[in-house]
Amino acid sequence: MPRHGSPSSVTVLGECVADTFADPGRSSLSELALRALPGGGPANTAVALARLGTPTRFLGRFSNDVFGALFRDRLSASGVDLTGSVSAPEPSTLAVADLDETGQATYTFHADNAADWQWTTAELAATQQDDAVCLHTGSLALVRQPGAGHIEDHLASAREHVTVSIDPNVRPLLVPPSAYRERLPRWCALADILSLSEDDLALLLPGAGLEEACDTWHSAGARLVVITLGGRGALASLDGHRVTVPTPAIDTVGAGDSFTAGLLHRLAAGGHLGGGLDRLGLEDVADACSFAAHVAALTCSVPGANPPRAEHLATPFLSGERRFTKSASRPLPPSCPDHDQTAHARAVP
C-alpha cells in the first residue's frame, strides 16, 4: 500500500525496441538512410504514465549500444525513473520497416539473443521496492525466453503487496500465438488486471465472443479484464459485471499503450491500486476507462507513439453516454477503424 500522503507510483517491466524506417529524403541510389524511433509497448506505457503525472519506474535491460542510449534518453526525458534497470552487453531489439506506397509496413526483426529477454533471478530480485502500488508488464518480455519464466516468478512474489497488471500485446510475427495461449492461464492467475485489444482476443481465444473471453479469464484469476475495441470503445468486466465506454480514438500507433497508461493512472489516482482491487467498483472502472480513452485519443492526434502530458488534459474527457449491464448484452456501437490494428501492424513488437 502507498504511504499516507505519498503519490501512488507504478513500476513497468518490459522491453524497449528501436523502430527503424527508411528516410527517403536523406537516401540515394548508393546509400540508404534510416530513421530510428524509440518504442516498445512497455516503454511506451511507462512514458505515458510519467507524462500523466504518475511517478513511474521502468525496469528494462538497456544494451550498451547506441539504441540503448536512445531508449534511456527518451524515458528519462519523460520523467521515468530508471533505478533498477540493467546495463546489458547484449544488443538492442530492432524492427526494420519497409513501407509501401500506401504506408503499410513489412517488418524485418532483429530480436534473437537481445538484451530485453535476458533477465535473471538475481537482476529481478535487485529491483524490489516497497513503494509501488502496481507492477505492469506484458508483451514480448513475458513470453520470450530465457527471461520470461523469471519474470513470472517475480510477479508471483510481487502480487503479495502490489496490484499486478498484464497486457499480452500479442506479436505473432515474432512469437507464435500458441506460445501466448499456453502461458495465458498462468498470467491470469498472477494478474489482477488483464488489458488487451480485440485483435489480441482473436489470437488468444479464436472464435470466442467478448463475454465468453472475459468469463474465461475471470475463471483463471483476473478480476478486471479490459478489452479495447478501437473506434467502438472499450469493454471492461469486473468480476463478471460489465461496462462499455465509447472512445474518440482513431487508427494510429501507440494508442493501446496510452490507453493502458491512462487506465492505471486513473486507478492509482483514485487509490484503487496497491492490492487485489477490493475497493474497486464498476463506476470507478467506467471512469478510469473513459479517462484512458481520452488519453488514447490525444495520442492519436499527433504522429507516432507520442502520449500527452497532464497539462494537455484540461478539456473534459468524457464523451458519450456510459452504458452499464451485468452481461454486456446491449449492442456495441457500429464498427469503425481500430487504433489497435495499426498498433499491431506498425508499432514495434
Reported as a single tens digit per residue, the pLDDT across 279-333 is 899 999 999 999 998 888 775 544 445 555 555 565 444 333 333 333 333 232 2
Quick one: which of 67, 66, 87, 33 has its CA closest to 348? 67
The SS3 call for residue 257 is helix
| Arithmetic mean of pLDDT, 258-265 | 94
Round to whole Å and give the CA distance between 233 and 73.
33
Q: Residue 247 in contact with residue 297, Cβ under 8 Å?
A: yes
- Spatial neighbors of 202 by CB under 8 A, at least 6 apart, are none
Residue 122 has pLDDT above 90, yes or no: yes
Residue 268 has pLDDT above 50, yes or no: yes
Q: Tally Cβ neighbours within 10 Å of residue 270.
A: 15
What is the predicted pLDDT for the residue at 308?
A: 53
Round to whole Å and give the CA distance between 206 and 162.
31
Round to whole Å and give the CA distance between 34 and 250.
27
What is the predicted pLDDT for the residue at 335?
A: 25
| Arithmetic mean of pLDDT, 324-346 | 31
| 335 compared with 52, residue with greater pLDDT | 52
- Spatial neighbors of 2 by CB under 8 A, at least 6 apart, are 8, 9, 131, 133, 274
Round to whole Å and give the CA distance between 8 and 3.
8
Residue 127 has pLDDT above 50, yes or no: yes
| 132 compared with 249, residue with greater pLDDT | 132
Confidence tier at 121 by pLDDT (50, 70, 90)? very high
What is the predicted pLDDT for the residue at 101?
A: 78
Residue 99 has pLDDT above 60, yes or no: yes
Q: Residue 296 in contact with residue 247, Cβ under 8 Å?
A: yes
Strand pairing category for 163-167 and 93-99: unpaired
Reported as a single tens digit per residue, the pLDDT across 224-259 is 999 998 878 899 999 999 999 986 644 444 478 889
What is the predicted pLDDT for the residue at 294?
A: 83
Strand pairing category for 163-167 and 132-138: parallel
Residue 165 has pLDDT above 90, yes or no: yes
What is the predicted pLDDT for the residue at 298?
A: 72
What is the predicted pLDDT for the residue at 12?
A: 98
Mean pLDDT for all residues in the chain: 83
Could you give the angle at the alpha carbon of 77 between the alpha carbons of 340 and 288, nearest 5°? 40
What is the predicted pLDDT for the residue at 248?
A: 60
Could you give the angle at the alpha carbon of 133 between the alpha carbons of 127 and 135, nearest 5°? 50
Reported as a single tens digit per residue, the pLDDT across 69-79 is 999 999 999 99
- Give the sign of the dihedral formed by CA 289, CA 54, CA 57, CA 273: negative
